[in-house]
Structure 1
Amino acid sequence: MLMFIFSLLFMIPLSLLNSWWAVQFWFFFLSFMFIFFGDFKFFVTNLGFGMGVDFFSWLMILLKFWICSLMIMSSCSIKFSFYFSDIFMLIVLLLMLSLYVSFSVINLFNFYLFFEFSLIPTLMLILGWGYQPERVSASMYLIFYTVAASLPLLSCILWMEGHIGGLCYYLFFDLFGGVYFYLAMILAFLIKLPMYMFHLWLPKAHVEAPISGSMILAGVLLKLGGYGLIRVFKCMVFYSLNFNFYIILLSLYGGLMVSLICLRQLDLKMLIAYSSVSHMSLVISGLFSMNVWGYYGSIIMMLGHGLCSSGLFCLSNISYERLGSRLFILNKGMISYMPSMSLWWFMLSACNMSAPPSLNLIGEISLLNGLISYSYYTMFFLFFLSFFSCVYSLYLYSFSQHGCFYSGLYSVSSCYLIEFHLIFLHWFPLNIMFMCCDYYL
């Protein structure tokens, strides 16, 4: 595992020398190298130096490598405009390093440390390369929501250290109880996912962030919450069985409300950000059901959502670079203005509504199985959640692609090859992994 950490550390001088394409090539190379580190077994491998990888963390690290590689590809405008591209590369490397260590450490305190450290490069991305002056308030929302909820978690971690003498995930046992301990251990991760009522930071951060910030937020950073929940549930299995139903109920109700909020959005990015909250409500419910279908469905849903949502943000950025706006009223009739890109809008909108053969379909079917077997009362919410996810995905596609396009547009835009390549690299793994779903289930 240290091999990848040192590879990332030795890339820092390369980034400061502004070797943009060399760094991007090396990121893709590390992605393909890491694929061969997975042995598709459900136990910990590559143990040593306080680090280890099981199947879930292997998937998350691989997703992180892939999304970070595509972040650099999508941010070519920063290089061509000479807008502090060397510092941008350095921040991406720091973010990649912090996320790699977060997903590979086996000590809860180390996870907390790098979980919080990943906020700093994200904050710098939003503040340094964001779009509007409101990016300062969006950054404050991101920091204060996450840090305020993490302090109770830190107090519980230190208390556990004093009582059991170690914080290794795999040595935890079901010893702890109490309302404070339960809420303190899960609240930081619920806000990171984010859960309904704690989700206000996410649309703000997405709208103000540059395309690279939106991609890493949707693709990887939201998954830290689900990863943390899986790790800490082992401490409080029997105690949480009494309270999980209330979290599931609130999460499904919130997902339904957010799905309705999606239908009244006027901004492309805002709609995609709120759809992330809706999808994550299903993931939270699957994890809190504490059964095998819910557990694996949540993992697959997180993986599929990371690729699909990141691709949709790339598409909205492609439109924004042409029109200078993300409003639906100006982004209408894109099928006439950018006909070649309309196919990719359709493909990713279909994946967003869990159409086959995307990973989202497997994840949603598994989550439906897990939640209905947990309680028949969840069926009402799940019906409307599935229905409205199709409705807002169709709304996103039809309103952006059909209709009369803006009168200020007087020609046809042929997209660049690198943009088609970027969208293809989101769509292809999202659908090709459907073929090897027997590894997951």
Structure 2
Amino acid sequence: MLGILVFNFLVTIFVGSWELVQVNMFIMCFLVLLSLNHDFYFFSIGWGLGLDSLSFLLVSLSIWVVMMMIYASYGVKKLDISSKGFLLVNLILLFVLVLTFCSTDFFMFYVSFESSLVPMFILILGWGYQPERVQAGVYMLFYTLFASFPLLVSLLSLYSAKGTLKMGLVESVEGLDMVSVLWYFCTMFAFMVKLPLYLFHLWLPKAHVEAPVAGSMVLAGVLLKLGGYGFIRMVSLFSGVNKVFNWLWVSMGVLGGVIVSLMCLRQVDIKALVAYSSVAHMGMVLGGMVLMSNWGLGGAVVVMVGHGLCSSGLFCLANIVYERLGSRSLMVGKGLLSFMPNLGLLWFLLCVGNMASPPTLNLLGEISLITSIVSWSKVGILGIMGLSFFSAVYTLYMYSLSQHGMFVSSLYSCCSGKMSEYFVLALHIIPLNIVIIKGSVVVSNFY
């Protein structure tokens, strides 16, 4: 895997062949996915790196999404907007993500966790859409850095107190005194911003709207999962404090998801709507993770994988519409079914995936999450009802407003779709609907 990644770096630097990099990425995905059925708990791959089932799922998702975003960004090559630099930044981002998910040391995890910010910042500033991309990049930079410094202090304190930062060897923090509580919140704050939790999410819509299609796809598909992955890894160190404060995170996740779902109903920008829907989905994921039950953790992992495929596909569709119309507004992009009928089915499949309808992977995960939250508190069913209902409402709002109605009269002719676009969308939809067959294997491997 790492060998093919290094080969891609060399091809990009010395040859600059876009097609060769695409073929190599496809081969890399195939080789990685061959091992997906292995029932391993943990194995080392050297250099302080290792994989277990959770890491392997997210590494596979990272490689798959980065491959698709290179295919979806063919416009960069066609217009020759520093295409070699674009490929190089994407490969660096993939390398950092693989390093993050394979780290077996918390300090190495922290360094690679924060390093993912740099290539994402370059993507937004270098290939973003509007002049506001500078503000969006600064928003993302300062939100993430402001939250990450307490995590660094927490890790250094953990090393000073326990003598090691190796995963599996660090002793958990005992006690419920003021220091332990402060330690817990300093550690989890960085993951809440990256997830993002409601109230810490203001950087996400700005970053999504101003990012190029590749930035939006990897941001929704993989980078939001870094927060969930880090939370799963570190929450076991603070299990005693977490039991006291889990009501806070579940409440903020579920109720915040309801509020964000209502905010989705007043969005006219397609990318902003999909970005806010990511916040709503991640709120329920946080509710499952913080309870530390088998149902909650397994469901959270499955929803993270399903959401990564689904939201990435919706951003890809939004970019296709933007390339045709020159606008992302739902007021301008109405009646798409009239002149882009071939994409109507793909819009429908990704929209029903976004609202967790069968047979998508999101359904399996949300059933597990709902079971864990409701079994923890019967009152939680009220928030879950609101979240599930409004999730369907804003998704149907987006689909009906974009596909139906009278299209803009200034639009005389339009290409319905290209083979490369159908290929990228099929790579989103097929795993989203097929992997549920192996869903039991995925969840059992994680347990």
**TM-score after normalising by structure 2:** 0.96
Deviation, structure 1 residue 174: 2.3
The 3-state SS of whatever aligns with 1:242 is: helix
The 3-state SS of whatever aligns with 2:406 is: coil
Match of 1:46 in 2: 44
Letter in 2 for 1:193: L
Match of 1:338 in 2: 340
Match of 1:290 in 2: 292
Contact 1:299–1:363 under 8 Å retained in 2: yes
Letter in 1 for 2:93: L
Whether 1:201 aligns to 2:198 is no
Alignment of 1:14-413 (within 5 A): 14-16=11-13, 17-41=15-39, 43-177=41-175, 178-413=180-415
Distance in structure 2 (CA, Å) of the matches to 1:127 and 1:325: 20
The 3-state SS of whatever aligns with 2:379 is: helix
Cα deviation, 1:63-117, whole Å, max 9, x if unaligned, reads 0000000011000011011110000011001000000000001100000000111
Cα deviation, 1:311-360, whole Å, max 9, x if unaligned, reads 00000000000000000111000000101101100110010010111000
Distance in structure 2 (CA, Å) of the matches to 1:360 and 1:247: 21
The verdict on how the C-alpha distance between 1:326 and 1:111 changes in structure 2, with shifts beyond 3 A counting, is same
Match of 1:13 in 2: 10
Letter in 2 for 1:191: V
The verdict on how the C-alpha distance between 1:405 and 1:56 changes in structure 2, with shifts beyond 3 A counting, is same
Distance in structure 2 (CA, Å) of the matches to 1:174 and 1:376: 30
Contact 1:173–1:234 under 8 Å retained in 2: no
Contact 2:295–2:371 under 8 Å retained in 1: yes
Deviation, structure 1 residue 249: 0.7
Letter in 2 for 1:65: I
Q: Which runs of 5+ in 1 are unaligned?
A: none
Contact 1:40–1:439 under 8 Å retained in 2: no
Match of 1:422 in 2: 424
Distance in structure 1 (CA, Å) of the matches to 2:238 and 2:170: 10
Q: Which moved more, 1:42-51 or 1:404-413?
A: 42-51
Deviation, structure 1 residue 18: 1.6
Distance in structure 1 (CA, Å) of the matches to 2:414 and 2:117: 40
Letter in 1 for 2:192: L
Letter in 1 for 2:92: L
Deviation, structure 1 residue 167: 0.9
Deviation, structure 1 residue 37: 3.2
Deviation, structure 1 residue 41: 2.6
Deviation, structure 1 residue 13: 2.5
Q: Quote the RMSD (CA, aligned, Å).
A: 1.1
Contact 2:69–2:214 under 8 Å retained in 1: yes
Q: Which runs of 5+ in 2 are unaligned?
A: none
The 3-state SS of whatever aligns with 1:53 is: strand
The 3-state SS of whatever aligns with 1:331 is: coil
The 3-state SS of whatever aligns with 1:46 is: strand
Distance in structure 2 (CA, Å) of the matches to 1:170 and 1:34: 25
Cα deviation, 1:231-257, whole Å, max 9, x if unaligned, reads 001211122100111111111111000
Distance in structure 2 (CA, Å) of the matches to 1:421 and 1:248: 38
Contact 1:247–1:288 under 8 Å retained in 2: yes
Letter in 2 for 1:214: S
Q: Which moved more, 1:174-183 or 1:342-351?
A: 174-183
Match of 1:431 in 2: 433
Letter in 1 for 2:142: F
The 3-state SS of whatever aligns with 1:243 is: helix
Deviation, structure 1 residue 412: 4.7
Matched residues, number: 438
Letter in 2 for 1:5: L
The 3-state SS of whatever aligns with 2:168 is: helix
The 3-state SS of whatever aligns with 1:168 is: coil
Q: Which moved more, 1:40-49 or 1:283-292?
A: 40-49
Distance in structure 2 (CA, Å) of the matches to 1:11 and 1:133: 32
Deviation, structure 1 residue 162: 1.5
Deviation, structure 1 residue 392: 0.6
The 3-state SS of whatever aligns with 2:164 is: coil
Contact 1:336–1:412 under 8 Å retained in 2: no
Distance in structure 2 (CA, Å) of the matches to 1:408 and 1:38: 49
Contact 1:41–1:54 under 8 Å retained in 2: no
Deviation, structure 1 residue 374: 1.0
Deviation, structure 1 residue 11: 2.1
The 3-state SS of whatever aligns with 1:52 is: strand
What is the percentage of aligned positions where both structures have the same residue?
46
Distance in structure 2 (CA, Å) of the matches to 1:79 and 1:250: 43
